[in-house]
Chain A
Amino acid sequence: MLRPLPDLPPHWFQILLALADEDRHGLGIMNDVLERTDGRMKLWPGMLYRNLSKLVEAELVVEVDTPPGAASGGGRPRFYHLTPIGRRACAAEAQRLNGFVQAARRKKLLKA
């Protein structure tokens, strides 16, 4: 039995989502989230790095070596990688949100 995971805060979800397809550095995550949310979620640098530290602490992401030929964000940036727990937590959150979306559909708030 796997432990049930707590709900993720929205910005954690967005950060994990940004890392779901590839390892990114902080600036990469910032830009990805900005683009994906159409500028609705701006991760400012201070908060972004603080949350990355907390995600590392919670073992949802890990720092990895800079991949060869990766786009540089200035100096030698740290790259972050989604851990299996992080992936599971992100998926669980997506599932949860999906549940809300389904409910909204059932209530005819959204088109099917």
Chain B
Amino acid sequence: MRASAWWITALVRLYPRGYRERHAAELASAMHACIDRERQRGVNASVTTVRLALDAVSASILVRRDLRRSRRLLPTLHGDSLMQSLLHEIRYSIRLLARAPLFGALVIGTLALAIGANTAIFSVVNGVLLRSLPYESPERLVLLNKGVNFQETFGFSAPDFVAFRERARSYDGLAAYRTGEFELSGVATPERIKAAKISASLIDVLGVQPALGRGFTAEEDEGRQAVAILSDALWRRSFGSDPSVVGKAVMLDRRAYTIVGVMPARAPFPSSGPRLNNVPAAVFVPISFTAGELRAFGSNYNKTVVARLKPGVSIEQARAEAAAISRQIGADVYPAELRDLGSNLATTVTSMQEEVVGNVRRILYVLLGAVGVVLLIACADIACLMLTRAAGRERELAIRTALGADRGRVMRLVLMETGVLAVAGAAVGVALAWWGQRALLAAAPIDIPRAQEIGFDVRVLAFTLTVSIAAALLTGVLPAWEASRRDSNTALKEGGRTGSAGGVRQRRIFAGLVTLQFACAVVLLAAGGLLIQSFVRLMAVDPGIKTDHVMSAATSLPASSYRTAADVRSFYGRLLDGARNLPGVTAVGASTELPLTVHERRVFTLENPPAAAANLPRATAHDVVLGQYFEAIGARVVSGRPFSDSDTLTSEPVVIVNETLARRYWLGEDPVGRRLAWGNPNNHGPWMRVIGVIADIKQTGLAAATEPQTWQPWVQLPDQLLASNVVSFRSLRLMVRSQGPPAALVPAIRDQVRALDPALPVSDVQTLDDIVAASGGPQRFNAALLGGFAGIALLLAALGVGGVLAITVSRRTQEIGVRLALGADAGAVVLMVIRQGMTLVAAGLVIGLPLAFAATRLLKSLLFETTPHDPVAFTGATVVLCAVACAACAAPAIRASRVSPMRALRLD
């Protein structure tokens, strides 16, 4: 090595590494050669050294600059690895987008909205439908219910359950449960909590072990011991997650229950569903059938049975066995006088998963399909934008092609840009979805099952990734293809002008994309329109009550503090009197059930029924009421009178019926004065005289047909019933009608209750308006979501047609200028542009309407009094779509009409 080597090495080190590695040896030897040469020419060595140093410094700076520039423009010409070149391309795409922030923001915003909506809906679909239930081998869990051919299903009675369990061979285990409520006291604020009374075997049937402690033993169940298992939520909320809670007491209905276990958070029970329809229980106690309950054939069909199929037993086999057992029980186990009823009872077997999520499956898939369509429309919008942008990049891409980039590489460059946009859109979209999913659940009606299990998991993120890749491809492939097929020479010659050659072709592509958007939009609009119309019709249904200015609140008297019937009567008597004397109150009543959610069904018998009605099934919805109940809820008395103070425990038992019952069983004759009784003709209770007929009130929501219904005065309930632990007669829902806003009464009502019993919680405070609105909740939710998606779709489609027209107009500026110069008037130009836009919209309609016609059939089960091909909804969708499209076309049309002929002609 020569002596000068170190500073030459130092100079070489000035260059960037990749460059240095390639050229170091040559640079060094060239520098040595220069030193030798200059020395021979008699130049001072130090002068040469300075000269070489200056050269190295300036060359290294320029090399670095070249590298930066070429990374931007020519990523892979350095022989980098594929990964490196991809990184370069990504960086380059980001830089390009940074130079067009508005474009970037628009595309990312649109994608975020579409991807976010897809992610949010998918997360719900995933949580509700795709994830299996949080129990062991949930596919083997079934729910058993009883049903009579003509009616909805209901639960088992205690003797039915015992008899069925003894005979069934298809199951590894069976358990019964029924839901209820308890007053939770001994905590900061007494409250009413949801409870489930369960067979000891339930925990084994579900295959869920308590997180703390243990489940119930058979002895505790049979021995009616006061033991309780807490839900995870209650354990955290009211017991501060105390790990030593097992063995301590919890006060339920003012009785001490020993806590034996805490259920795990991941397995709430019961799940809600069409028949389960419950929020998960906060506390579990043994179901502990009494001897009386076990003998009570023909009543209290209120226990749901959960069973685990033996491995290998199909649900069809279980159904066949259940049918046989039901016949056997009806014939052999039911007492002779109830054989009639018993032999009519069938047993239904449904998979638990189906039971829990069956009723929301359709709407969730419809919503998922709808957001998918929104994504498609958004992608078409972005594809139009990208096409325009790719046209602007033509010169750059042509240079690349001229410099050796092949077609695939040019496509990759354009796709890279949409890829970067899709990733950014997905990132914002996931954040939106996170927020949107919460908003969705908050807005959702209570009966979205498994709502607490909805969240983001790997599957949701994988879905988002797939959607984003699909979006990148959908938006990018067409512009990329178009960019890559442009001839580089033409592009370079045209100098970036988007000229006529690609123009016709591109206009066709734009036309295709806009047509596609409107075809999709009309499908969503028709579907949204149908659901909105269905909702409007539902809300127009007369519930049979005047819902304004009425407040409802529930109280339930624990048997441990209110031991006798007199205690119970006295409490409610004083509560109603107190409430009636509150200022502004016009009527006060109470009932065991709420209007629109009447659960109780009874079998009844008519005295001397008309022959034509003799063979009708005799089941009626039933409610027990107190005070001025009918006045409070604004029910209309059609005939006879409402209950009054003259109806007492000692007077003749009376009953009020609704119009449907009167019409169906007395065939339109006035039933006032006739008599009916609970039970069967050959085994019935005491006769009750019909004293009035009330105009129909909906019992199971606005959408359901009105059933026959009866009302009985609470004061005529026998003492032993009120004194017993039958909660339903001790829990009354106060109905208070007032002149002012009903919410203003709430504190006064709470004070009334507190004055009578400081420990008694008041629950379910709501207005009658809320109750009716809640009944339309699912329909409102469906209509709002699908209507919202249709609105977004329409907006995106309008942006699409508006944008495409704006591009077309700007490209035809010259032509339009010539027309105007030749004397065309502005109106004609406006019409020409609008016609051009509306032609595409019309094409979209021609394709979209038949599609909509086919697609809306899927909505059939979700519609109320609306056919899937409702002409009003379809016409409405078409009109709205045309109006919005017309408005979207107007802006570019007006701009076209204002083109200055002179400027247009100078443009080139």
Q: Which of A43-65 contact B (CB under 8 A)?
A: 44-50, 53-54, 57-59
Question: Are B30's CB and A45's CB within 8 A?
Answer: yes
* A86 sits at the interface (CB 8 A): no
The interface centre, meaning the residue of B23, B66, B70 with most chain A CB atoms within 10 A of its CB, is B23
Contact (A46, B66) CB under 8 Å given A25-B26, A27-B33, A75-B25: no
Residues of B within 8 A of A53 (CB): 19, 63, 66
| B51 pairs with A44, CB closer than 8 A | yes
Closest B residue by C-beta to A34? B37
State the Cβ distance, A8 to closest chain B Cβ, in Å: 17
Asked if A46 and B29 make an inter-chain contact with CB atoms under 8 angstroms apart, the answer reads no
Q: Are A49 and B60 in contact (CB under 8 A)?
A: no
The residues in B between 31 and 74 inclusive whose CB is less than 8 angstroms from any CB of A are 31-34, 37, 41, 51-52, 55-60, 62-63, 66, 70, 74
Cβ of A1 to closest chain B Cβ, rounded Å: 8
Interface-central residue, B28, B30, B62, by most chain A CB under 10 Å: B30
Q: Chain B 203-242, CB within 8 Å of chain A: the 1/0 string? A: 0000000000000000000000000000000000000000
Asked if B66 and A49 sit within 8 Å, CB to CB, the answer is no
Chain A residue at minimal CB-CB distance from B55: A44
- Inter-chain CA distance A77–B74, complex, in Å, is 26
Contact B30 A26 (CB under 8 A): yes
**Bound Cα distance from A75 to B56, whole angstroms:** 20
Question: What chain B residues lie within 8 Å of A59 (beta carbons)?
Answer: 403-404
Contact of B26 among A31, A34, A47, A75 (CB under 8 A): A75
Q: In the complex, what distance in Å separates the CA atom of A87 from the CA atom of B41?
A: 33
Which residue of the partner chain B has the closest CB to A63? B22
Which chain B residue shows the least CB distance to A74? B29
- Provide the bound-state CA to CA distance between A49 and B55, in Å: 11
Q: Does B62 lie within 8 Å of A50, measured CB to CB?
A: yes
B598 located at the interface, meaning its Cβ lies under 8 Å from any Cβ of chain A in the complex: no
Chain A residue nearest in CB terms to B15: A46
Closest A residue, CB atoms, query B30: A45
* Interface pair A57/B404, CB less than 8 Å apart: no
Whether, in the assembled complex, B27 has its beta carbon less than 8 Å from a beta carbon of chain A, the answer is yes
A50 to chain B, nearest CB (A): 5
**Chain A contacts of B77 at CB under 8 A?**
57
Q: How far is the CB of A58 from chain B (nearest CB, A)?
A: 8
Contacts of B489 in A (CB 8 A): 3
The CA of A90 and the CA of B331, in the complex, are separated in Å by 110
Q: Are A44 and B23 in contact (CB under 8 A)?
A: no
Residues of A within 8 A of B66 (CB): 50, 53-54
Contact B34 A46 (CB under 8 A): no
Assess whether A49 is in contact with B23, with CB atoms less than 8 Å apart: yes
Contact yes or no, B26 A46, CB < 8 A: no
- Tell me if A33 counts as interface (CB < 8 A to partner B): no
Q: Once the chains are docked, how many angstroms separate the CA of A88 from the CA of B641? A: 112
CB of A47 within 8 A of CB of B30, answer no
Expressed in whole angstroms, the Cα–Cα distance for A25 and B195 within the complex equals 90
Contact yes or no, A78 B26, CB < 8 A: yes
Q: How far is the CA of A57 from the CA of B720 in the complex (A)?
A: 102
B55 contacts which of A47, A57, A73, A75 (Cβ < 8 Å)?
Answer: A47
A residues near B33, Cβ cutoff 8 Å: 27, 30-31, 73-74
Partner of A49, one of B37, B52, B59: B59
Interface size on A (CB < 8 Å)?
A: 26
Name the one of B30, B41, B402 contacting A73, with C-beta atoms under 8 angstroms.
B30
Shortest A39–chain B CB gap in Å is: 8
Given A44-B51, A57-B74, A75 contacting B29 (CB threshold 8 A): yes
In the complex, the chain B residue whose C-beta lies closest to that of A26 is B26
User: Which of these, A46, A73, A74, contacts B59 with CB under 8 Å?
Assistant: A46
Q: Name the residue on B nearest A39 (C-beta).
A: B41
| A46 & B404 in contact (Cβ 8 Å cutoff) | no
* B390-423 interface (Cβ within 8 A of A): 402-404
Task: From the candidates B30, B58, B70, B492, name the one contacting A57 in the complex (CB within 8 A).
Answer: B70
A52 closest partner in B (C-beta): B23
A44-B403 Cα distance, complex, nearest whole Å: 28
Contact: B31 with A45, CB < 8 Å?
A: yes
Closest to B404 in A: A59
Give residues of chain A (5-55) contacting chain B, Cβ–Cβ below 8 Å: 25-27, 30-31, 34, 39, 44-50, 53-54
Q: Are B28 and A74 in contact (CB under 8 A)?
A: yes
Shortest beta-carbon distance, A30 to chain B, in Å? 6
Residues from chain A with a CB closer than 8 A to the CB of B60 are 46
Task: Write out the residue numbers on chain B whose beta carbons fall within 8 Å of the beta carbon of A30.
Answer: 30, 33-34
Residues of A within 8 A of B25 (CB): 74-77
Q: Is the CB of B27 within 8 A of A45?
A: yes
A25-B404 Cα distance, complex, nearest whole Å:
25
Q: Closest chain B residue to A45 by CB distance?
A: B30
State the CA gap A75–B52 with chains docked (Å). 20
- Given A49-B26, A50-B62, A74 and B403 touching (CB < 8 A)? no
Bound complex: CA of A3 vs CA of B51, how far in Å?
39
Alpha-carbon separation in the docked complex, A49 to B58 (Å): 12
Q: Is the CB of A45 within 8 A of B34?
A: yes
Query: How far, in Å, is B404 (CB) from chain A's closest CB?
Result: 7
Instruction: For A3, list chain B residues within 8 Å (CB).
Output: 402, 489, 492
A46/B27 in contact, CB under 8 A: yes
Which of chain B's residues have a CB closer than 8 A to the CB of A39? 41
Contacts of B32 in A (CB 8 A): 74
B18 CB to closest chain A CB (Å) equals 11
Q: Which residues of A contact B37 (CB under 8 A)?
A: 34
CA distance A86 to B235 in the complex (A): 83
Contact (Cβ within 8 A) B58 A47: yes
Residue in A closest to B59 when the chains form the complex, CB atoms: A46
Q: Which residues of B contact A44 (CB under 8 A)?
A: 34, 51-52, 55, 59
Bound-state CA distance A16–B437 (Å) is: 66
Inter-chain CA distance A44–B74, complex, in Å, is: 27
Q: Which chain A residues lie closer than 8 Å to B29 at the CB level?
A: 27, 73-75, 77
Give the docked Cα–Cα distance between A74 and B27 (Å). 10
B57: A residues at CB distance < 8 A: 46
- Nearest-Cβ distance from residue B72 to partner chain A, whole angstroms: 13
In the assembled complex, the Cα of A78 lies from the Cα of B29 at a distance in Å of: 12
- Given the interface pairs A44-B52, A59-B404, the reply to whether A50 lies near B30 with Cβ below 8 Å is no
Residue among A50, A53, A54 having the largest count of chain B Cβ atoms under 10 Å: A50
Alpha-carbon distance A58/B66, docked complex (angstroms): 12
- Complex: A77 Cα to B27 Cα, angstroms: 10
Residue of B nearest to A46 (CB): B59
Which residues of A sit under 8 angstroms from B28, Cβ to Cβ? 74
Rounded to whole Å, the gap between the CB of B28 and the closest CB of chain A is 7
Q: What residues of chain B lie closer than 8 Å to A45, measured between beta carbons?
A: 26-27, 30-31, 34, 52, 55-56, 59
Structural contact, A46 and B58, CB atoms closer than 8 A:
yes
A residues near B62, Cβ cutoff 8 Å: 47, 50
How does the 8 Å CB contact mask read for B124-156 relative to A, with 1 for contact and 0 for none?
000000000000000000000000000000000
Q: Give complex CA distance A102, B70 in Å.
A: 39
Contacts of B404 in A (CB 8 A): 59
How far apart are the CA atoms of A44 and B633 in the complex, in Å?
101
CA distance A36 to B29 in the complex (A): 21
* Min C-beta distance of B39 to chain A, whole Å: 14
Residues of chain B with a CB closer than 8 A to A54's CB: 66
Complex formed: what's the CA distance from A57 to B74 in Å? 9
In the complex, what residue of chain B is closest to A47 when comparing beta carbons? B59
Whole-angstrom CA separation of A39 from B43 in the bound complex: 13
**Whole-angstrom distance between the Cβ of B53 and the nearest chain A Cβ:** 9
14 additional A-B residue pairs with CB within 8 Å, beyond A44-B51, A74-B26: A3-B492, A31-B33, A44-B59, A45-B30, A46-B55, A49-B59, A54-B66, A57-B74, A58-B403, A59-B403, A73-B29, A74-B28, A75-B25, A77-B26
25 pairs across A/B with beta carbons < 8 Å? A3-B402, A3-B492, A26-B30, A27-B30, A30-B30, A30-B33, A34-B37, A39-B41, A44-B34, A45-B34, A45-B55, A45-B59, A46-B27, A46-B55, A46-B59, A47-B58, A47-B59, A47-B62, A48-B30, A49-B23, A49-B30, A50-B66, A57-B77, A59-B403, A73-B29
3 closest A-B pairs by CB: A46-B59, A74-B29, A44-B55
> Which residues of A line the B interface, CB within 8 A?
3, 25-27, 30-31, 34, 39, 44-50, 53-54, 57-59, 73-78
